Amino acid sequence: MSSCLTCVQVLNIMVLLGFMLNYALRVNLTIAIVEMIYDDNDNHTAALNITFGPHNVTEHPEHIEQTRYHWDTKQKNHLLGCFFWGYVLTELPGGRLAEIIGARRVFGYSTLLASILTLLTPGSAALGFGWIVAVRVLLGFLLGATWPAILPMASKWIPPMDRSKFMSNMMASSLGAAMTMPICGFLIAHFGWESAFYFTGIIGVMWSVAWFAVVYDTPGQHPRISETERNYLMKALPQDNNSKGHIPVPWRKMLLSPPVWAIIITHGASVFGYFTVVNQLPSYIESILHFNIKHVSFSFIFIYLWSTVVTTVNAEHMVKIEWSMDLLFSYYVPRQLRKFYKNLGLEGTILCYKSENVSKSKTKIEFNVHNYFRPSCYVDFH
């Protein structure tokens, strides 16, 4: 590898970019759907109806012709939510599969295939509503395996004292949404909603090629790692790098463990609320607050950037406190600190959900406050 970057640093960069892309591939529809659906009550764009049939072609002030579909609210919500039908199916198998065949393959091929499906999304929409739903379900199925797949790789590459920073890269994936929303908003306004899928899909294919070129499952497999870095990692992670077998999973004990179910329920509730906001916020801003597509996209920049900053700062802050408390007291105090952060995130977001309204200025403030509390739900994973 280049003398400027170690293999671990390259891995951190690729993981950060990979999870940014992960978000981009899932949220592109939430911004594009604002322009995909024909709204008879739409009065904030000067759209001229051109043709009739199962869908309409509309002409905007920029003289762009693009296809719009006659999907009702129920179909729209199904389309926004069907991603998670497939997503939940691979959360558990994805991690186990990565342990068996390697995280490089699971993470890389899942992202590559998801990128190809993204490129096919406009065509599937033209074929019919059922086709685009099927594509989104399969997209969720593929991307659902990526998050758990990266953890086995972390155990082989990242020393314990550095894993908090590595996890911060994963949780900083909101940067992907922060960048995707304004870029896609610009592309949609000037080139049509199809461009949002083509752009994110092409970026995904390019990232996948780079991933397979520079990332390997273990330091021992990497052909370009320096001897100094390899020896350091082998000493820091002797069991992870030298073990050849797979430790059996105590499924029965896990399924009967109250703490496991407490984590599943609390995290599931947190994720449900968050992705409800992610899916519905563009339509809410466009339909209720009556912002146009550019305002919808740029409204997300500060929301997601703020989320990324809070995630990183809270994680680093908590880890430093834990190390000092662990030395001075016992494991009990850091454990309580993690519970405090989780409750802070859950209860804070509940207050924001209850106070949302149709005031433009108040809504912006509430969503930013929401994104201050929400990242606290995730720092207990470090």
- Give residue-wise pLDDT tens across range 154-164: 889 988 777 76
- CA pair distance 148, 131, nearest whole angstrom: 28
Residue with tokens 């859950």: 346
Whether 40 is covered by a domain: the verdict is no
Residue 283 placed within a domain: yes
Is 174 within a domain?
A: no
Question: Does residue 18 fall inside a structural domain?
Answer: no
Domains in the chain, number? 1
Full residue range of the structural domain in which residue 355 is found: 253-382
Other C-beta atoms lying within 10 Å of the C-beta of residue 278: 19
Report, as ranges of residue numbers, the positions in the chain whose pLDDT lies below 70: 1-3, 39-65, 164, 168-169, 171-173, 238-246, 281-283, 285-338, 341-342, 345-382
d(CA 320, CA 323): 5
pLDDT the model gives residue 276: 75
Distance CA 269, CA 343 (A): 12
Residue with tokens 């999907």, as numbered in its chain: 71
Q: In what order do the strands lie in the sheet with 48-49?
A: 48-49, 55-59, 65-69
51 occurs within a structural domain = no
In this structure, are residues 76 and 33 in contact, taking their beta carbons and an 8 Å threshold?
A: yes
pLDDT given for residue 201 in this prediction: 97
Per-residue pLDDT, 180: 82
Report if residue 198 sits inside a domain.
no
CA 321, CA 104: separation in Å to the nearest integer?
33
> Is residue 382 in a domain?
yes
- Residue 155 in domain: no
Which residues touch 262 (CB under 8 Å, ≥6 apart)? Answer: none
List, in sequence order, the alpha helices (H) in the chain. 7-36, 73-81, 83-87, 91-101, 103-127, 129-143, 146-157, 163-171, 174-191, 194-214, 227-236, 238-242, 251-255, 258-287, 293-328, 332-355, 360-373
**364/349 Cα distance (integer angstroms):** 14
